[in-house]
Amino acid sequence: MVIDTSIRFPDMKNHRTIAVDTPGFDNEHVRDDEIKGRITDWLTASYRKGMILGGIICLHDISQDKLYRSNATDQIIATFNHLSGGAALDKVVLATTKWAKLPESDGSRRENELKSVHWKEMADKGLQVRRFMSKQDSAWGILAALLNTHDMILVDGNETDIVIPFAIPYYLLGSR
């Protein structure tokens, strides 16, 4: 899906921002290693076509009792980091979701545990943790966290597409 980012990001007027909704992990119908393989293959193929891999948004349900760091997610981030030439964790956002399902104090406690324990190593290297509050401004804020890390890049004299695999509901960003 192409997202019209030019209204909120005027420097992006000559770029297409393409959002790719990927399957989530812990899916009862598809094994994690199959999902990881699909995403890794897609990232590699997109990179080889000259697309700029703009970043990754991983969603985490903050209302879940079990706080964890998925091995499969780590491998996707490692692949992205490799294709981006390393040091690309500033282009990864772990967005926590479903804040309305629990008291804010419980969510904040869980978020702090994720940042200080489960995701600490990646956060120390630039990974961003953001709250997705199921509102349009929240979705745009998460997208801005990625787009603001990019210089405008020219390939063969033309500005290129920026591709961001993620799973924020499209209707919150709008499309064209």
Give the pLDDT of residue 106. Answer: 95
Length of the chain, please? 176
pLDDT lower than 50: segments of the chain: 152-160, 166-176
Provide the pLDDT for residue 77: 73
Model pLDDT, residue 153: 42
**pLDDT score at 169:** 40
Q: What is the pTM of this model?
A: 0.75
Q: What dotted CATH number matches 2-172?
A: 3.40.50
CA atoms within 13 A on the CB side of 19: 25
| pLDDT value, residue 101 | 95
**What is the structure's pLDDT at 24?**
75
pLDDT at position 132? 93
Q: Is 61 helix (H, G, I), strand (E, B) or coil?
A: strand
Which pLDDT score, from 0 to 100, does residue 102 have?
95
Name the nearest CA neighbour of 110 among 141, 84, 131.
Answer: 131
Torsion on CA atoms 169, 90, 30, 140, rounded to nearest 10 = 0
- Secondary structure of 30-49 in the HEC alphabet? CCHHHHHHHHHHHHHHHHHC
* Residue 171: per-residue pLDDT: 36
Q: What is the pLDDT of residue 40?
A: 78
